[in-house]
Amino acid sequence: MGLLPSARVDARYAELADLRLASTLTDEDAREEAELDPFDRITCRTHRRWLHQCVSSPHHAVPVSGHRWCRPCARPLDAAVDELAGDVRFSCPRCGQTPDNRATRQLTRACRASIAAAADRWPDRDLCA
The footprint of Zn ion (CB under 5 A) covers: 44, 46-47, 54, 70, 73, 92, 94-95
Judged by CB, which is closer to Zn ion: 9, or 42?
42
* Dihedral angle, C-alpha 8, 58, 80, 71, nearest 10 °: -120
How far apart, in whole angstroms, are the C-alpha atoms of residue 124 and residue 111? Answer: 22
Judged by CB, which is closer to Zn ion: 20, or 99?
99
How far apart, in whole angstroms, are the C-alpha atoms of residue 28 and residue 33? Answer: 9
Judged by CB, which is closer to Zn ion: 64, or 129?
64
- Please count the CA atoms within 13 angstroms of the CA of 57 that sit on its side-chain side: 13
Closest distance to Zn ion from the beta carbon of 35 (Å)? 21
Judged by CB, which is closer to Zn ion: 4, or 95?
95
Closest distance to Zn ion from the beta carbon of 57 (Å)? 5
Closest distance to Zn ion from the beta carbon of 12 (Å)? 15
Q: Do 114 and 52 form a contact (C-beta atoms < 8 A)? A: yes
